[in-house]
Amino acid sequence: MASASPETVAMFSEVTDSVRRSFHKHGSMGCMFICETEDRERITFEAAGALGEWAVAVKSLRKSFRRLKVARYVCVTECSADAVDAATHPSGIRNCGKGVMVLAVDSTSVPICSRAEIKHDADGKETLGPWESIELSGRWRSRLIKVRRSGRNDGA
């Protein structure tokens, strides 16, 4: 079974740590993609909403990812804490809990995904619970990177 590269695992860990610090400082998260190109340059795309609101932009993101030669990316977004499909935005389900999802994908197309529930303390302040690994269905929108196969076989 294929797995994500060590670079993708390290990037995923770095982003989950950063998300927790940012959430505790600011109390919310937007939707963003942190991308790493084949040349190891980092590029961040931010969206003004969550998954359900930017679905139309996926085609444009795919084109941009190909043009920029994105090797791996991490997506951060709010999600439903109660939905079977983690990609469901909380506004799409009545009386559901909210969470933050972090998803990493590399050219192997093997996603790494964790979700943390947004909890409310006694003062009403929002905090993130522990990260829980989750599996995503094969139909999820994470497939913005396609495996690149070279047709060359010249020994190079």
pLDDT tens across 78-117, in order?
A: 887 665 444 444 444 445 678 999 999 887 767 889 999 9
Q: Please report the pLDDT score of residue 64 as a whole number.
A: 86
Q: Please report the pLDDT score of residue 114 as a whole number.
A: 93
- Residues 6 or more apart whose Cβ sits within 8 Å of residue 99: 78, 79, 80, 81, 90, 115, 116, 117, 118
The candidate with the shortest Cα–Cα distance to 6, out of 112, 114, 117, 132, is: 112
What is the number of other CB atoms lying within 10 angstroms of the CB of residue 83? 16
d(CA 107, CA 141): 15
Share of the chain above pLDDT 70, in %: 68
Which two three-digit tokens encode residue 3?
A: 């797995």
The pLDDT-based confidence of 123 (bands split at 50, 70, 90) is confident
Q: Please report the pLDDT score of residue 41 as a whole number.
A: 95
The pLDDT-based confidence of 26 (bands split at 50, 70, 90) is confident
User: What pTM was computed for the model?
Assistant: 0.77
Q: Please report the pLDDT score of residue 78 as a whole number.
A: 84
